[in-house]
Amino acid sequence: MLLSLTNTPRDYAWGSTSLLAELEGRAPSGAPEAEVWFGDHPGDPAEVQGGGTLDEVTGGTLPYLLKLLAAAQPLSIQVHPTIAQAQDGWAREAAKPADDPTRNYRDANHKPELIVALSERFQSLSGLRPIPSTLDLLELLGDGPAIVELRARLAGEGDVLRDTIGWLLGGEAQNEVDEIIDAVTDAAARADTGEWAPTLAAVAGIARTYPGDPGVVVALLMNHVTLRRGEAIFLRAGLLHAYLEGLGVEIMAASDNVLRGGLTPKRIDVPELLSILDATPGEVPVLRAVADEAVTVYPAPVPDFALRRVTLTGASVDLDVEGPAMVLVTAGTVDVVTADGESRSIPVGEAAFVTVDERTVRLSGSGEAFVATPGA
């Protein structure tokens, strides 16, 4: 069976007022448009053309959630648990009401995610930078007492990144946070910062949006990654991250478990954040599309989802799908046809849902589509 899906953009404050409208070729609504959800998540199930919602079709069993994401301002710094951590947290909080503001775990699942840039420039913070590189960056911020303190903590022994993040977020270091933010702002205004200029500009921009937030200094410890259109990053459980600006296609395990680490007015449970944080430093690989291939596969080592990008220039493309599958169109108009001849013409910003009984689909037309399925 083949269904056509739409949904209404979610109006989170960080959303863009123009990116989704430009993608879909329509007038802006005037409100922030942050995310469009294509899934059966009970928080906002996709709408089925002809009536009803996707959760009524699937029974809420879809293992992934596919989204369009449009950020004009930084999202909160956050991290997601492993399955074991989520199961433990869910059990510990079992007695708490679902709307309890102190609840950290909304379900017993992990939430790995992958995002592919649709805009020509998509900025993110992804993972913790290797410490020697951060010490090099800090050399540009002068020798104020707070900078000296931060350098000393990072040059110490033990689990220094976890300990430093705990110090920054714990409420005892606000004076140091303010001094470090001032130093970043000053350095970003100079012309002698070399290779660190984009990172300093990004962190200074975050500081303008979230003045005085300790998460600004946490951001200073993270890899600043700029994706070009078609490039992607996979974010495993435990990896600290935040999207800063841009338009993308995001896919994740069907979970709502988020522990925040700054850049937000929402509650931050510092001990719980630190308990699930993967503080291993290192760069996050950028997954790049091959320009002359019709199908790009974005590797994701999880069973919850797999994602492919299909570029159509007139010739049709046949795909094997281990359903349930979803085809989200991001350019042109794409026709989706099942093996028994059922078809749907899908415009930009909408999706086709292919039920689990289907094993192949044919895509034709001229444009671009992302095909989501459960992982291997």
Q: Which of the residues 129, 236, 260, 309 is marked catalytic?
A: 260
The Cα 234–Cα 126 span in angstroms is 9
For residue 8, give the DSSP letter: P
Unique residue bearing structure tokens 């022994």: 157
Unique residue bearing structure tokens 């921009």: 205
Q: Is the peptide bond before 63 cis (omega within 30 degrees of 0)?
A: no
Single out the residue of 230, 276, 219, 251 nearest to residue 79, CA to CA: 276
Name residue 59's amino acid. G
Give the DSSP H/E element, type plus range, for residue 187. Answer: helix 174-188
Cα–Cα distances (Å) from 196 to 137, 199, 207, 253, 280, in that order, read: 7, 5, 16, 34, 22
Unique residue bearing structure tokens 């540009």: 140
Query: How many other CB atoms are there within 10 angstroms of residue 271's CB atom?
Result: 8
Residue 1 in tokens:
């069976």
SS3 311: strand
For residue 211, give the DSSP letter: T
The Cα 307–Cα 372 span in angstroms is 5
The backbone region for 84, taken as left when phi is positive above 0, alpha when psi lies in -120 to 50, beta otherwise, is alpha
Single out the residue of 199, 116, 188 nearest to residue 372, CA to CA: 116
Q: Is 260 a catalytic residue?
A: yes
Catalytic residue numbers?
260
